[in-house]
Structure 1
Amino acid sequence: MSPFFTFLLHLSVLAYALVGGVFLAFSDFIMRSLALTTGTGGAEAMQAINREVFRWVFMTLFLGMAAISAILVGYSVTRLTAPGNLLILLAGLVYLLGSFGVTVVFNVPMNTALADMDPSQAATQDYWVGTYLPRWTFWNSVRTLACTLAAALLLAGLYRTLQPPPT
């Protein structure tokens, strides 16, 4: 394995963990805190968060890791017999499906629906409490687990690739 690719794997472990950490914060305490707000506070705060998430740091990591995951999958598919490459392949797939895919299929549509709502309306509060909070948080927890698993798989794959061959 080239030194560049080895370095990319090291950075990818860290990036998977960082993205997973953001998701963990939401599942662990941010969404619960927003649920405790009174009136329109929670839905309104989440609308603001969803607008601000497009800042370059998080989106660079999140989208960049989708692209890098595709590269990891492609690289590993062509070298499955090499030590650790199956784990690297699985790490890329777990991130692509469990983090990026879940975001596109579940979380983003709920964010879009919430963005179009007026927080002062009863229908928005019904959606916020009855649909958005439980479903968004569930799928966000799936993303957290996927990022954690991807980081662990990639770390194990990297470790395996760097082991000297048996003598």
Structure 2
Amino acid sequence: MKMATLLLIFTAVLTALIAGLFYAYSCSVVLGLGKLSDGEYLKAMQSINREILNPVFFISFMGTAVLLPVAAFVFRGQPAFIFLLLATLAYLIGVFGVTVAGNVPMNDILDKFDISGATTDAIQQMREGFEKRWNLLNNIRTVFSVISIALVVCACIWSKEI
């Protein structure tokens, strides 16, 4: 098996893992979290946001950001190139960019919020200022990550390597 083929397969797997993470979160986790009280919701989100910062997540999240453009470069001049280029743009703007510019700053603000020392009104205000916007940004990441994996699958189909 050629290195380019392995690169494309590994890129597809990482992209699929990230799309699956955001998809599962959008259609299950946020629904469950939405049923919690304000304090429980904020504590759960603080815990989730801390726990996701682990090597397995970083390998798939950052690996996808690196491997998509590398794969596009390797497949330049081939039919798969345009799909990989579009997948790269979708991922870097709609997933990576939204995460870094939107979700992470919100997570950082939430992480510094002292739930145990806050009033009921402050807890309610924090949730109101966080939940809808964070979920919207997560849905954007979900859509763009699914677009990215669909484009990578197209690249696999049209690749001369596979």
TM-score normalised to the size of structure 2? 0.89
Q: Which moved more, 1:42-51 or 1:154-163?
A: 154-163
- Indicate the residue corresponding to 2:80 in structure 1: 84
Q: Deviations over 1:99-150 (max 9, x none)?
A: 111100110011011001022423233121x221111111111111111111
Distance 1:75 1:90 in 2: 14
Distance 2:43 2:94 in 1: 27
Aligned 8 A contact 1:119 1:125 in 2: no
Runs of 4+ in 1 over 4 A off after TM superposition: none
1:38-53 counterparts in 2 under 5 A?
38-53=37-52
Aligned 8 A contact 2:39 2:115 in 1: yes
Aligned 8 A contact 1:72 1:92 in 2: no
Aligned 8 A contact 2:90 2:145 in 1: yes
- Indicate the residue corresponding to 1:108 in structure 2: 104
Aligned residues: 159
Other structure's SS at 1:162 match: coil
1:59-74 counterparts in 2 under 5 A?
59-74=58-73
Listed as ranges, the gaps of 5+ residues in structure 1 are none
Distance 1:131 1:72 in 2: 39
Other structure's SS at 1:40 match: helix
Amino acid at match of 2:91: Y
1:91–1:39 distance in 2 versus 1, CA, 3 Å: closer
Q: CA RMSD in A?
A: 1.9
Listed as ranges, the gaps of 5+ residues in structure 2 are none
- Indicate the residue corresponding to 1:152 in structure 2: 150
How far 1:86 sits from its partner (Å)?
Answer: 0.7
Identity of aligned residues (%): 33
Other structure's SS at 2:159 match: helix
Aligned 8 A contact 2:33 2:44 in 1: yes
- Indicate the residue corresponding to 1:139 in structure 2: 137
Amino acid at match of 2:139: S
Distance 2:133 2:95 in 1: 15
Q: Which moved more, 1:50-59 or 1:65-74?
A: 65-74
Amino acid at match of 1:91: A
Distance 2:88 2:38 in 1: 41
1:95–1:39 distance in 2 versus 1, CA, 3 Å: closer
Distance 2:151 2:132 in 1: 28
